[in-house]
A and B are shown apart, each in its own frame.
Chain A
Amino acid sequence: MRTFSKLCAGIVVMAITLYAQADSGESIVLDPTTGNYTITYGGDSTNLSQTVFVPATKIDPTIRSSFRLNERDVITYRYTVFNGATAKQAIIGIVLKQIANPIIGELPFPDGTFPNLIVEKAAYDAYNAAVKTSVASPLNWDGDITRRLSQVDWSPNTATYNTGGIHPGQTLSGFGFNSLDLPGISQSSWMNGRIEDNEIFGFPDDGPDESSPIFAQLNQLRDNDFIIRNTAVPMIAVPVPFDAATLLDRIRSQMFTWSGTQLINSAFATQLDRYMVAAANAYRSNQPKVGKEQIESVRKLLEHEHNYLDHDEEDHEDTAEHKAATRLTIDRLAARVLDFDLRYVLKRMEREHEHDHDEGDRRKEQERR
């Protein structure tokens, strides 16, 4: 995955590096030594202007996702971030995307909506207070929720902003929140590094003209100034009242967003999907035992690919040999997420069955009386 994302970034970089308008002299050129881009453009004067763009991607981030179900059907999500020793910047931005539904503790406005736009100070202060209680952050870090962007994000607080962050070689835990939604994999979550004061991007004039191709190229560079990492985030809403077949369909839909990426082999996804369709049909036909068997078949296939998938709190790494053997079938995080979601279905069905059983016993007792 890391190799793939680097490859993608490299392709973008190459495309931009090679860009040049021979007649106007405008260009964006990457310096492989520094990793910075020199932008040459038509500025305010008749001469060309230059500026340097220092990307915030000189980090080597790894994010580990854990997700645990507690007795109230609440799922606790926790994240640990590691910055590789070869990184040149401290990680100061962590953004988890595609979190569409409110997390536990995130308070709505009195009218039931969630704030995308806060204009009243009292409401703003109340919202900030709610965010602090709903988003877990390590010491000296602040978490925030931006509903407009379906994201939860973190950065060092004001007091430590200029010196804090996750420096090269460091690991930091304690990022997280609770949710009722099951995990899926966000393929657009990202992290970025700190730009020093003398590296803040700017133009010595008004910059390139909007109609210039350089303008569009530069915006593309700036809009992708981060490193993406696959992260498990709450993405699958649990139907209320609970319906196993509906939930299985949602899990299947999530799985198919991985197909065609490095997360799962398409053929393997199809194989798993057959069992999941059968399970959903069984639940619809009120055949919970058959449904359970089909789900267990999926879990066995996943277990064959990766060990210890049911250890939700910690990510027990496969051995290097096992990783090499299974990397083309399904990614370990994808397997963990899928296994967790399927176990959730089984647990809820078991509870529903016990509840029905108890109800049945109660009715019989009443009739006997």
Chain B
Amino acid sequence: MNMWRQKHRMTYWLRKLFVVFSLVASWNVQAVLLLDTSPSVLTWCTSIYSMADHFVCNFPTDFAAAQEAITLYNEWNVQLHIADPTVLVVDYTLLSCDGTGHCATCATFTQINQPTGHVCGVILPWAGLMSVCPVPKSHPEIPYIYYSYGNDCYRYIPDNPVLTVTFIGSNEVQPPNILPFSVVVKDQNGVVQPGTQVALTVDVQTLDVQSGANGVLNGEGGHLHTANRPKGGFACSAQYAPGSALPTCTLTMDGNGEAPFIFISTAVSGAHTITATCNNCTTATALVNVKIDNLITIPASSKYALSDSNGVIGAVPGKHTDNHYLASGAITELKDLANIYTAINPGAILYLNDASLVWGGLFDVDVVNSPWSRPHAGHQKGTSIDIRAANSGPNNQGSVPSTLFSRFIEEATKKGFRIGLHCKNSSDTNYCLSQPNNRHFHVDF
């Protein structure tokens, strides 16, 4: 070990002077240089074998410690081998080389009647003095230099600030609505950065934020069709005029290093990611959930049906299959409504069609022709539901017979429900009675 260090002492000093001179020469003489140090890989070696053309550093046999150390040295890739205690084996298994002369390998050294050991070594050619130092993540163009006396690595880097952008604001908004935000830019010492320009973009979040029933990803707001989901937009200040949403923003930080903006959600629920970027900044993101909170899946009951012989009532595969969500108060009232129907039609139960999606919001029933538009009227907040009424279509199982339409409406109205008939694709204004295609009761709780 000492011989190895002595051999490179002169080289160390020459290199140090060279780096300092290079840095001063390449920048303004008034540029500030910061000393940046890092422990060398040799500090974790339990032992080092010096060979003719290389040396081997034995890593700690504590796997957890080795993993932790590896995080500091992103260019190393290390594995541990389990030794075979009965065999004297010398097995060098090359794992990876990073192309700069650094290779990681694991070798199994075992001696009979000796404790089992496993070791991973780094084969380091003599020529690579800097190879015992990590490759820096910031300013990678300035490598570390090994300082054998301190057994550490050092370099000088310019004192450029590393800026961070921080979002300030809530992460949830009801659709459609506005959500005020601000961004703050500070350097690594916490000093605000007035005048910095920050660019904002927004995109839909495609990751699963919270899984719902039937495999539905709540991050998509309960929509299984995801193409072209509306992203929402911005107002690039603290003021918003309806209809003026912008797809992006470029904000200039004020004297406090801060700038306000507003996220404008559409009527479609789902998760969104707002991204902020600027020069010398680490990119920041904010996750915003556009949702009606606390909607609950309608529980099973003997008083009503959520499915028929064809499956979930109202489910459209690939579009919306999880359509029975209501606010908790509405669920309570739903059971009252079910009792009302049972009283006027003993033995029968209500067959429940669309309520709301898991996060509420726009429920686009005409996904084929007009996705993300033409919502179910009133199905956005978990306070509405459709109920099967006798109709001319194929879905009639359990529907309320037409002879009971008036009675059902009157009894429900007396109990404070707002209920009426809806039908579809009808030019008939005669209350859906002569054009009963897709006729159903629509109830507002």
A contact set with B: CB distance below 8 Å: 44, 49-52, 56, 92-93, 95, 116-119, 121, 124, 128, 146, 148-149, 153, 155, 158, 161-162, 192, 194-211, 215, 219, 222-223, 225
Task: Return chain A residues, CB-CB under 8 Å to B427.
Answer: 204
* Contact size range, B: 35 or more
Are B380 and A210 in contact (CB-based, < 8 A)?
yes
Query: Could you write out 7 A-B pairs with CB less than 8 Å apart?
Result: A56-B413, A197-B402, A202-B423, A203-B377, A206-B374, A207-B442, A219-B418
- State the total of A-B contacts with C-beta under 8 angstroms: 131
- Looking at B303, B414, B425, B435, the one whose CB has the most chain A CB atoms below 10 A away is B414
Q: A44-B366, A201-B421 given as contacts; is B413 within 8 A of A225 (CB)? A: yes
Give, as a whole number of angstroms, the nearest-CB distance from B88 to chain A: 76
Give, as a whole number of angstroms, the nearest-CB distance from A99 to chain B: 14
Q: A95-B414, A206-B377 given as contacts; is B432 within 8 A of A117 (CB)? A: no
Are A202 and B420 in contact (CB-based, < 8 A)?
yes
Which A residue's beta carbon lies closest to that of B432? Answer: A202
Task: Return chain A residues, CB-CB under 8 Å to B423.
Answer: 202-205
B365 sits at the interface (CB 8 A)? yes
Which B residue's beta carbon lies closest to that of A204? Answer: B426
Task: Return chain B residues, CB-CB under 8 Å to A192.
Answer: 410, 413
B422 sits at the interface (CB 8 A)? yes
B406 sits at the interface (CB 8 A)? yes
Are A93 and B336 in contact (CB-based, < 8 A)?
no
Are B433 and A200 in contact (CB-based, < 8 A)?
yes
Q: A198-B430, A203-B423 given as contacts; is B406 within 8 A of A222 (CB)? A: no
Which of A116, A117, A199 interacts with B431 by CB under 8 Å? A199
Are A219 and B444 in contact (CB-based, < 8 A)?
yes
Give, as a whole number of angstroms, the nearest-CB distance from B8 to chain A: 75
B contact set with A: CB distance below 8 Å: 176, 267, 301-303, 332, 335-336, 339, 342-344, 365-366, 374-378, 380-381, 402, 405-407, 409-411, 413-416, 418, 420-433, 435, 439, 442, 444
CA distance A98 to B392 in the complex (A): 42
Give, as a whole number of angstroms, the nearest-CB distance from A92 to chain B: 6
CA distance A56 to B410 in the complex (A): 10
Task: Return chain A residues, CB-CB under 8 Å to B176.
Answer: 211
Are A204 and B335 in contact (CB-based, < 8 A)?
no
Task: Return chain A residues, CB-CB under 8 Å to B424.
Answer: 44, 205-206
Task: Return chain B residues, CB-CB under 8 Å to A211.
Answer: 176, 267
Are B422 and A202 in contact (CB-based, < 8 A)?
yes
Are B422 and A200 in contact (CB-based, < 8 A)?
no
Task: Return chain A residues, CB-CB under 8 Å to B415.
Answer: 146, 149, 153
Q: A148-B336, A207-B378, A219-B418 given as contacts; is B429 within 8 A of A200 (CB)? A: no
Which of B402, B407, B432 interacts with A161 by CB under 8 Å? B407
Which A residue's beta carbon lies closest to that of B384? Answer: A210
Give, as a whole number of angstroms, the nearest-CB distance from B383 to chain A: 10
CA distance A302 to B435 in the complex (A): 60
Are A210 and B407 in contact (CB-based, < 8 A)?
no
CA distance A196 to B428 in the complex (A): 17
Which of A51, A148, A158, A222 interacts with B407 by CB under 8 Å? A158
Beyond A202-B439, A204-B427, A204-B435, list 18 extra A-B contacts (CB 8 Å). Answer: A51-B429, A51-B431, A52-B431, A116-B336, A119-B302, A124-B339, A161-B410, A162-B407, A194-B406, A195-B410, A197-B433, A200-B431, A204-B432, A206-B365, A206-B424, A210-B378, A211-B267, A219-B444
Which A residue's beta carbon lies closest to that of B426? Answer: A204
CA distance A71 to B339 in the complex (A): 37
Q: Lowest 4 CB-CB distances: which A-B pairs, in order? A: A202-B421, A204-B426, A207-B377, A202-B431
Are A201 and B378 in contact (CB-based, < 8 A)?
no
Are B406 and A195 in contact (CB-based, < 8 A)?
yes
Task: Return chain A residues, CB-CB under 8 Å to B302.
Answer: 119, 121
Task: Return chain B residues, CB-CB under 8 Å to A95.
Answer: 414
Are A210 and B413 in contact (CB-based, < 8 A)?
no
Task: Return chain B residues, CB-CB under 8 Å to A92.
Answer: 410
Are B429 and A117 in contact (CB-based, < 8 A)?
no
Are A153 and B414 in contact (CB-based, < 8 A)?
yes
Are B374 and A128 in contact (CB-based, < 8 A)?
no
Are A201 and B431 in contact (CB-based, < 8 A)?
yes
Are B433 and A198 in contact (CB-based, < 8 A)?
yes
Give, as a whole number of angstroms, the nearest-CB distance from B427 to chain A: 7
Task: Return chain A residues, CB-CB under 8 Å to B409.
Answer: 195, 200-201
Task: Return chain A residues, CB-CB under 8 Å to B439.
Answer: 202
Give, as a whole number of angstroms, the nearest-CB distance from B421 to chain A: 3
CA distance A182 to B332 in the complex (A): 31
CA distance A126 to B423 in the complex (A): 38
CA distance A10 to B431 in the complex (A): 26
Which of B335, B381, B410, B429 interacts with A119 by CB under 8 Å? B335
CA distance A66 to B198 in the complex (A): 75
Which B residue's beta carbon lies closest to that of A154? Answer: B414
CA distance A62 to B373 in the complex (A): 48
CA distance A196 to B332 in the complex (A): 30
CA distance A162 to B403 in the complex (A): 9
Which B residue's beta carbon lies closest to that of A52? Answer: B429
Give, as a whole number of angstroms, the nearest-CB distance from B301 to chain A: 7
Give, as a whole number of angstroms, the nearest-CB distance from B390 to chain A: 12
Task: Return chain A residues, CB-CB under 8 Å to B407.
Answer: 158, 161-162
Q: A119-B301, A197-B405 given as contacts; is B422 within 8 A of A206 (CB)? A: yes
Give, as a whole number of angstroms, the nearest-CB distance from A327 to chain B: 32
CA distance A200 to B407 in the complex (A): 11
Which A residue's beta carbon lies closest to that of B301? Answer: A119
CA distance A144 to B431 in the complex (A): 29
Task: Return chain B residues, CB-CB under 8 Å to A158.
Answer: 344, 407
CA distance A318 to B380 in the complex (A): 55
Task: Return chain B residues, CB-CB under 8 Å to A197.
Answer: 402, 405-406, 433
CA distance A56 to B413 in the complex (A): 11
Task: Return chain A residues, CB-CB under 8 Å to B378.
Answer: 207, 210, 215
Give, as a whole number of angstroms, the nearest-CB distance from B387 to chain A: 13
Which of A124, A153, A205, A209 interacts with B422 by CB under 8 Å? A205
CA distance A209 to B425 in the complex (A): 16
Task: Return chain B residues, CB-CB under 8 Å to A202.
Answer: 420-423, 431-432, 439
Are A155 and B414 in contact (CB-based, < 8 A)?
yes
Are B410 and A93 in contact (CB-based, < 8 A)?
yes
Give, as a whole number of angstroms, the nearest-CB distance from A122 to chain B: 12
Q: A117-B336, A118-B339 given as contacts; is B420 within 8 A of A203 (CB)? A: yes
Give, as a whole number of angstroms, the nearest-CB distance from B379 to chain A: 9
Task: Return chain A residues, CB-CB under 8 Å to B342.
Answer: 124
Which B residue's beta carbon lies closest to that of A53? Answer: B420
CA distance A219 to B380 in the complex (A): 16
Which B residue's beta carbon lies closest to that of A201? Answer: B420
Give, as a whole number of angstroms, the nearest-CB distance from A125 to chain B: 10
Which of A118, A119, A149, A161 interacts with B416 by CB under 8 Å? A149
Which A residue's beta carbon lies closest to that of B336? Answer: A117
CA distance A56 to B415 in the complex (A): 15
